């Protein structure tokens, strides 16, 4: 089979794009921004398929206002601790952040946050974490035990 210049260009472009999207990211420096965003080295990573509360977002637990956005960030910070996440690139969002799924000790950080009730399956973009969300909701984990707004509703206000 012979490739003409146009087809060869298309094959090279597909390989290059696949490399950029699926090339794993290894961290040397980790900064936790919030419950679904981290900086690895100098790359801004947004966890794909989930949505965590905003840092200034609050919830009501036992008639007390709690900072559920801060709790989400602290949970992620504690989970990462001094370890280096391994991330698999899945794309880029409208803000030029890398969309990725990140892991610590082979455990998905996104799945961990959703199962613990401090992030939600972002069904608008993915169905990947729905089972984790169902688990958290059934067990009243995290924000599911509180009065809260979904992050996308909170941001809309």
Q: What is the pLDDT of residues 97-119, one digit of tens each?
A: 999 999 999 999 999 999 999 99
* DSSP code at position 2: -
With beta carbons less than 8 A apart as the criterion, state whether 104 and 79 touch.
yes
pTM summary value: 0.82
| Alpha carbon distance, N-terminus to C-terminus of the chain | 57
Domain presence at residue 138: yes
What is the count of structural domains for the chain?
1
Owning domain of residue 144: 5-149
Domain presence at residue 137: yes
Domain presence at residue 155: no
Q: What is the per-residue pLDDT across 26-50, written as a single tens digit (0 to 9) for each?
A: 546 899 999 999 999 889 999 999 9
With beta carbons less than 8 A apart as the criterion, state whether 41 and 98 touch.
no
Supply the pLDDT for residue 42.
Answer: 85
Q: What is the per-residue pLDDT across 51-94, written as a single tens digit (0 to 9) for each?
A: 999 999 999 999 999 999 999 999 999 999 999 999 999 999 99
Domain presence at residue 157: no
Mean per-residue pLDDT of the chain:
88
Domain presence at residue 33: yes
* CATH code for the domain in which residue 79 is found: 2.40.50.90
């Amino acid at each position: 089979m012979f490739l003409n210049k146009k087809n060869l260009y298309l094959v090279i472009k597909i390989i290059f794009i696949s490399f950029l999207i699926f090339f794993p990211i290894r961290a040397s420096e980790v900064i936790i921004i919030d419950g679904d965003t981290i900086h690895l080295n100098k790359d801004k990573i947004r966890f794909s398929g989930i949505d965590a509360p905003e840092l200034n977002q609050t919830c009501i637990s036992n008639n007390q206002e709690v900072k559920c956005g801060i709790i989400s960030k602290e949970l992620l910070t504690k989970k990462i601790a001094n370890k280096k996440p391994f991330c698999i690139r899945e794309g880029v969002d409208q803000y030029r952040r890398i969309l990725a799924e990140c892991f610590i000790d082979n455990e998905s950080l996104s799945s961990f946050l959703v199962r613990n009730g401090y992030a939600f399956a972002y069904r608008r973009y993915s169905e990947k974490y729905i089972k984790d969300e169902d688990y958290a909701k059934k067990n009243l984990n995290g924000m599911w035990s509180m009065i809260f707004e979904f992050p996308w509703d909170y941001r809309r206000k």
